[in-house]
Amino acid sequence: MRILLTGGAGFIGSHIALLLLERGYDVLILDSFVNSSFNVINRIKTYLDNKDLKYNLKIIKGDIRDKRTVDNIFFESLKESKPIETVLHLAGLKSVSDSVTNPLHYWDVNVGGTLNLLLTMNEYECHSLVFSSSATIYGLSDSIPMSENHNISPINPYGKTKVAIENMFDDLYKSNKNLWKICSLRYFNPVGAHPSGLIGEDPIGIPNNLFPFITQVAIGRRTVLNVYGDNWETRDGSGVRDYIHIIDLAQGHLASIDYLNSNESCLEFINLGSGKGYSVFQIISQFELSTGCQIPFDIQSRRDGDVGVCYADISKAKKLLGWAPKKSLEEICLDGWNWQIKNPNGYT
């Protein structure tokens, strides 16, 4: 069975690709490499070669918005007698701040790209899809844990594009309830790296997320970590979030493929998180304990639009997908640090 993995060279996609190939899937990656390096592909191959695994991996450099490219992928796969049976759609832009500055670009790539993909899938009678949605679609509130029924009210263009895509799925599913099988996975904060240290997160510029910031401070690429607010109503005053090990998140995609394969048509919106809330200070302490590094930090004022506590209710993922996160906060710290020390400047 051939899987089309869009955005497969990115942080999350590369980890999914590796697990899929390890499990024997035939994988075709479509990526424009606008936010990733081709070295990722070499690293995936190195890992599989080192393990003496035979694998089927094809890479197409192209844009998800380009009709001819996407059509060609389905057409050629059919010609090879390896029709694409499922699409994992991760290609897209993900910076909240960039989306505020360039909203049209986000609508074009995220929504336009997904529309193009869905049109082509429909043409080639491929109706099985796993999509990367995000917890940023949920409205601000301290009501926790957040279930899939939490109110949807994104506060930035990035989150709005994810909602628009989920609405598109809803229309599509309702148009013919016997056709489409879709899992839209709402990620919380994926962090850490593959335990091999061969692949990991390599943000371009200043990291938007806490973990890569911590590891870059630890390795000396940045001098100090900014902590936004120490007066939240939490155990220690710092903000509490849900961090999920990237391997657990990737496993959630494999479980989703199994779910789609064993079910009739469906449309499911599913949270993928650890289901636990960790405070910023707790993470700094765990990171220092696990790695022996010191993380100097500065307290800054709260940022607009932040909440004190946010973590996922993952009971739906557990029940529906038979999936549960297995990795601890310590493994997140150790694997993230292992990646950073082996690759102080990322993939470059």
Residue 280 identity? V
Count residues binding ligand NAD (CB under 6 A). Answer: 27
Residue closer to ligand NAD, measured from CB, 34 or 104: 34
For the bound state, the minimum distance from the C-beta of residue 54 to ligand NAD, rounded and expressed in Å, comes to 25
Contacts 24+ apart (CB under 8 A), 287-290: 287/214, 287/218, 287/333, 287/337, 290/330, 290/333, 290/334, 290/337
Among 32, 251, 256, 343, binds ligand NAD (CB under 6 A): 32
> In sequence order, what are the residues at sequence separation of 6 or more whose Cβ sits closer than 8 angstroms to the Cβ of residue 263?
181
Residue closer to ligand NAD, measured from CB, 35 or 251: 35
- Give the closest residue to 27 by CA, choosing from 48, 11, 37, 229: 48
How far, in Å, CA of 329 to CA of 278, rounded?
9
Segment contacting ligand NAD (CB under 6 A): 88-96, 287-295, 304-312, 339-347?
Answer: 88-96
- Give buried/exposed letters for 154-165 (b at 16+ CB in 10 A, else e): bbbbbbbbbbbb
Among 2, 4, 5, 7, binds ligand NAD (CB under 6 A): 7
How far, in Å, CA of 10 to CA of 31, rounded?
8
Element holding 60 (H helix, E strand): strand 56-61
**9 in contact with ligand NAD (CB under 6 A):** yes
Taking residues 49 to 68 in sequence order and writing x for each that binds ligand NAD by CB under 6 A, - otherwise, the string is --------------xxx---
C-alpha Rg value of the chain to the nearest Å: 20
Tell me, yes or no, if 158 is annotated catalytic: yes
The interface with ligand NAD within residues 140-179 (CB under 6 A) comprises none
The interface with ligand NAD within residues 117-136 (CB under 6 A) comprises 132, 134
Residue closer to ligand NAD, measured from CB, 65 or 194: 65
Catalytic residue among 158, 259, 278, 311: 158
Structure tokens at 320: 């529906």
Residue closer to ligand NAD, measured from CB, 43 or 94: 94
> In sequence order, what are the residues at sequence separation of 6 or more whose Cβ sits closer than 8 angstroms to the Cβ of residue 235?
279, 282
Distance of CA 133 to the CA centre of its chain: 8
Among 10, 145, 200, 277, binds ligand NAD (CB under 6 A): 10
Among 20, 44, 59, 109, binds ligand NAD (CB under 6 A): 109
Look-up of token digits 């993900």: 94
**13 in contact with ligand NAD (CB under 6 A):** yes
Residue closer to ligand NAD, measured from CB, 37 or 46: 37
Among 20, 25, 26, 31, binds ligand NAD (CB under 6 A): 31
Question: Is the bond preceding 203 in cis, omega lying within 30 degrees of 0?
Answer: no
**114 in contact with ligand NAD (CB under 6 A):** no
Residues labelled catalytic: 158
Q: Which residues bind ligand NAD (CB under 6 A)?
A: 7, 9-13, 31-36, 63-65, 90-94, 109, 113, 132, 134, 187, 189-190
